[in-house]
Structure 1
Amino acid sequence: MSITLIIIGITVIASLYAWNNQTIFQKWILNPYTVQRRKEYHRLLTSGLIHNDYMHLFFNMFALYFFGELIEQTYIMAFGQLGAVLYVGLYVLGIIASDIPTYLKHRNHPHYNSLGASGGVASVVFSSILFYPTEKICLYFVFCLPSFIFGAIYMLYSYMQAKRGGDYINHDAHLFGAIFGIVFSVITMPSVVMHFFNQVAGWRLIE
């Protein structure tokens, strides 16, 4: 069984468990105010194990499966067993890194909560974009774009929505998860930068 499937399994089980145990749900959700007051820093990670509902869980895990399997194999092919550790680090640290800006932004807001694995998933997705920039990403299996164009639109949208706010989606986590995925990939495999630009430079709208 792949590491990606293990992560998905753990996340699904954790979400189902928390939905049926509100005490655990409230202990795991990211409430920046509580993190600051009680020093409950575990919430920066445990909030990535739980989701709001089945649809939220499905979309995150579907994206993780689609992109995670590819990046997991990329890291393992490049580093062997160490690649598996680096892949887990990309995902887990992506969740934590994407939650830190949310914590700093809302640590004085008692009623603000955030949850979901979106930051970690975004880290994996944008690592994939860096390694495979001309591969197609399709929205709703119909509207397809090269991944580097999709990535640019996604980051711009997340930035604008984070500034606008008001839609109850943590766009900061999406944006900073994506940034972390890029930074992590460049640090672990610096050659990916030249590879990315060579691939994009050789891309043509009409093949």
Structure 2
Amino acid sequence: MMTLALIVVTVLVSWLAFDRPRLMERLILWPPAIDRKHQYDRLVTHGFVHADWQHLLFNMITLFFFGRVIEQVVGQLIGPLGFVLFYLSAIVVAILPTYLRHRHDARYRSLGASGAVSAVLFAFVLLQPWSLIFVFFLPVPAILYAVFYVGYSFWMDRQGTDNVNHSAHLSGAIYGVLFMLLMEPRVGTVFLERLLSPSFR
């Protein structure tokens, strides 16, 4: 239920912001507003607005399929609101490197839930490395997708040729793995066991 609630709130806020530029400008990550005006809430609110419907739908579909699994696991570890805390903290942690890099850049802006969604996705990969993820309708083992995702995000972040915050993707992915290991260290052992015993499903 928490996954669905987060999706509903994100879709609603993003939809409202699409037609309200002033709302979008208030919620988006704009480093000078944090540095000069101390609007620290932007570290969270930027994760609830998106550039367009395609951006929003891609993130929310990914969150729907993988969030429900992680919600159950995290809920068993730290309680029913654990997944919400994980997701919100992932929004913040994923954007911190970007904020620190651009905190004096008045031209920089960032938005979207991709960092937090990456955290959820990589938490799932840690639990089920050989589960099949459909990429453009083609089944790909989760662990192979994760390797490609990290490599691509790192390369594109170095290139800096598009308007995608690949740094947040990487930070979110790392946080998702570290969060799960911190909450339950035995997850690491289970991951290695499953990694060495491929089972596609």
How high is the TM-score relative to the length of structure 2?
0.95
Q: Which amino acid aligns with 2:64?
A: Y
SS in 2 for 1:111: coil
Mapping of 1:1-207 within 5 angstroms?
A: 2-76=1-75, 78-79=76-77, 82-142=78-138, 144-203=139-198
Is the CA contact (8 Å cut-off) linking 2:13 and 2:49 kept in structure 1? yes
- What one-letter code is carried by the residue in structure 2 that aligns with 1:14? V
Match of 2:81, SS state, is helix
Report if aligned partners of 1:32, 1:102 keep a CA contact under 8 Å in 2: no
Q: Is the 8 A contact 2:119 2:175 kept in 1?
A: yes
Cα deviations by residue, 1:81-134 (Å, 9 ceiling, x for unpaired): x43222112211111001111101111211111000001101100000001111
Contact 2:110 2:165 in 1 (8 A): yes
User: Unpaired segments of 5 or more residues in structure 1?
Assistant: none
Task: Quote the Cα distance in structure 1 between the aligned partners of 2:137 and 2:92.
Answer: 30
Question: Where do 5+ consecutive residues of structure 2 fail to align?
Answer: none
Q: Distance in 1 between matches of 2:107 and 2:33?
A: 10
The C-alpha deviation readout for 1:22-77, integer Å capped at 9, x for no partner, is 2111010001122212221111100001000000000000000010011112223x
1:140 shift after superposition: 1.1
Amino-acid identity (%): 36
SS state at 1:72 partner: helix
* Cα deviations by residue, 1:166-206 (Å, 9 ceiling, x for unpaired): 2010001101010010010100011100000000011279x
Residue type matched to 2:161 in 1? G
RMSD over aligned Cα atoms: 1.5
Q: Aligned residues, how many? A: 201
Kept in 1, the 8 Å contact 2:130–2:199? The answer is no
Note the C-alpha offset of 1:157: 1.0
Superposition TM-score, scaled by structure 1 size: 0.93
